Amino acid sequence: MPTGRALRLAAAVAAALAAGSTPDPLASQSTHVVVVTGLGGGAEFSRRFAGWGAGLVDAAVAAGVPRGQVTWLAEDEAADPRVTGVARKEGVGATLAALADRAGPDDLILVAIFGHGSDRAGEGRINLPGPDLSAGELAVMLDPLAPRRLVVVNAASASGGFIGSLSAPGRVVITATRSGRQNEATRFGGHFVDALAGGADTDKDGRVSMLEAFEFARLEVAREYERAGQLATENALLDDNGDGRGSLEPGGEDGSLAASLALGSAGPGAAGGVAVDSLRAEQARLRTALDSLRAREETMEPDAYRAELERLLLEIARVGRAIRERGGAEDGGAHEG
């Protein structure tokens, strides 16, 4: 028999679904992109990383991200007019802190890093002008961005060591290598940028999801090594379920969140699909938060637990209604327990 608490929560959810003035979860959604290109260590790699950075800036703007919401921190501030600052550790931290203050709660944030990396004493690092940026330091910088939807792409060598530090619920983490021991220069970043520029729109819906971009880049890297008759020195990983392990070929435990996230608006023809996908991603984030809350019930004050439970169920109900209004189907359901 339903408890009084369950009945009250069910009534609250029903009221939220029926309310004509329910806020549209998409009303204030926007996309922000932060591109970091680190030290090249020589002219060839400096040009390569700068080319990838410029390509991602252009792809983001072409996908509908406002130019003012695209930041590019580079090795050389004077190398390209699109560069907005030097990629020093403190500059990366300041950029992410400002974004945490500026971005809306439902915004999508993409942070992409191109450069050389290393693994020191079991911790990944990115080579930047001045002090290197460690995986732990980057994790601290990213924490204030939660619970916004966040995609972190580390395309540097030895980037696999970042997965464990950066992985979190509601977050997509992509690395060019599967461990810190894969420390040769990587090719993944260039193919990932090509994917976002349109090369990976496999389902022809006018948009490139993060999963499509990952798969495109992963397969292109493999083909490149095969054509050269070389053994691959990089194996990319994707983690989007928060377990800190990552998958070489997403499709089981990882991949569902990445499949729902894409840059910008993708144009009028795909607007409806992008809207529903964005809402489903928000729904997935809220359900992850709900699962986390239930796991903490025994450690919380009863009133605090009930208040947070009700808030999450109301938000899930509102997002579900918005999905149905756009003709989409929800991915499962949420139940009070």
Contact 28, 104 (CB under 8 A): yes
CA angle 104/167/137 to nearest 5° reads 80
Cis bond upstream, residue 147 (ω within 30): yes
Query: Which tens digit of pLDDT belongs to each residue from 189-244?
Result: 999 999 999 866 665 656 789 999 999 999 999 999 999 999 999 999 999 999 99
Ramachandran quadrant class, 36 (left: phi over 0; alpha: psi -120 to 50; beta: rest): beta
Give the CA angle between residues 273, 279, 281 to the nearest 5°: 105
The tokens describing 46, both together, are: 């400096």
72-91: b or e for each residue (b if 16 or more CB lie within 10 Å)?
bbbbeeeeeebbbebbbbeb
SS (H, E, C) 151-184: EEEECCCCHHHHHHHHCCCCEEEEECCCCCCCCC
Mean pLDDT within 299-303: 89
Judge contact between 122 and 49, C-beta under 8 A: no
Report the C-alpha gap between 331 and 185 in whole angstroms: 40
What pTM does this model have? 0.73
Find the mean pLDDT for residues 59-88: 95
Strand duo 133-134 + 149-154: pairing = unpaired
Share of the chain above pLDDT 90, in %: 60
Q: What are phi and psi of 150, to 5 degrees?
A: -130, 135
Model confidence over 163-178: pLDDT tens digits?
999 999 889 999 999 9
Q: Residue 56 pLDDT more than 60?
A: yes
31-266 CATH pick, 3.20.20.70, 3.40.50.1460, 3.30.2350.10, 3.40.50.970? 3.40.50.1460
Phi, psi at residue 170, to the nearest 5°?
75, 15
User: What is the identity of the amino acid at 214?
Assistant: F
Q: What is the mean pLDDT of residues 269-274?
A: 45
Q: Going by C-beta distance under 8 Å and a sequence separation of 6 or more, which residues neighbour residue 102?
A: 32
Rounded Cα distance, 67 and 64, in Å: 9
What mean pLDDT do residues 296-305 have? 89
The amino acid that residue 162 corresponds to is F
Reported as type and span, the H/E element at residue 49 is: helix 43-62
Q: Give me the pLDDT at residue 291, please.
A: 83
Q: How big is the CA angle at 183 (ends 178 and 185), to the nearest 5 degrees? A: 105
**Has residue 55 got a pLDDT over 90?**
yes
**DSSP states along 214-241:** HHHHHHHHHHHHHHHT---S---EEE-S
pLDDT tens digits, one per residue of 130-189: 999 999 999 999 999 998 999 999 999 999 999 999 999 889 999 999 999 999 999 999
**Residue with tokens 């007019």, as numbered in its chain:** 81
Query: How distant, in Å, are the alpha carbons of 6, 98, 101 from that of 319?
Result: 20, 28, 24
Predicted pLDDT of residue 276:
66
Domain boundaries, the chain: 31-266, 270-337
Q: Is residue 20 over pLDDT 70?
A: no
* Nearest residue to 70 via CA among 120, 26, 36: 36
